[in-house]
Homo-oligomer: A and B are copies of this chain.
Amino acid sequence: MSYTINQVAKMLGITTATIRYYDKEGLLPNLERRESGYRIFYDYEIETLKFIQIFKRAGMQIQEIKQYINLFMEGEITLEDRQKMLLTQKENLVKRRQEIEESMKELDSIIEFNQSALTSDAEKQLRDSARELIKRKEEEKNEISD
């Protein structure tokens, strides 16, 4: 079974322009063409595109994905290299998750601070300290311009 670029785009929820871009970047090696130049997609290419989507979601860049695919084309001799790439990528994901968790904590503490200002008398205190801040800045301004 073979498909046109438009059919594949619909199947995978991407645009034809994106598929052409991937092809241009070398992510679809040995892609066949008709006499007319029209691209022909088989299940193999569709699988490749699905892997591209997985790798993209994992945060891999187009050039890295290209490198992975090139290794794959060289056969099982590159399996170890590919595995290394994937493990590196997994480490990146672990790091990103860690960063997100740290960021979440920071955000939470601001949210919590604001919440106490919203729900308690602390609101007044915040207002006062803001006023004081503005006042202090005015004073500093005067000091400078003197």
Contacts and interface: CB of A to CB of B under 8 A. Distances in A.
A30 to B, nearest CB: 7
B42 A127 contact: no
Interface string A111-137: 100110110000100110010010001
B75 A89 contact: no
A130 B58 contact: no
A101 B108 CA distance: 21
B54 A99 contact: no
A20 interface: no
Interface string A6-50: 000000000000000000000000101010000010101000000
A86 interface: yes
A144 B40 contact: yes
Nearest to A45: B137
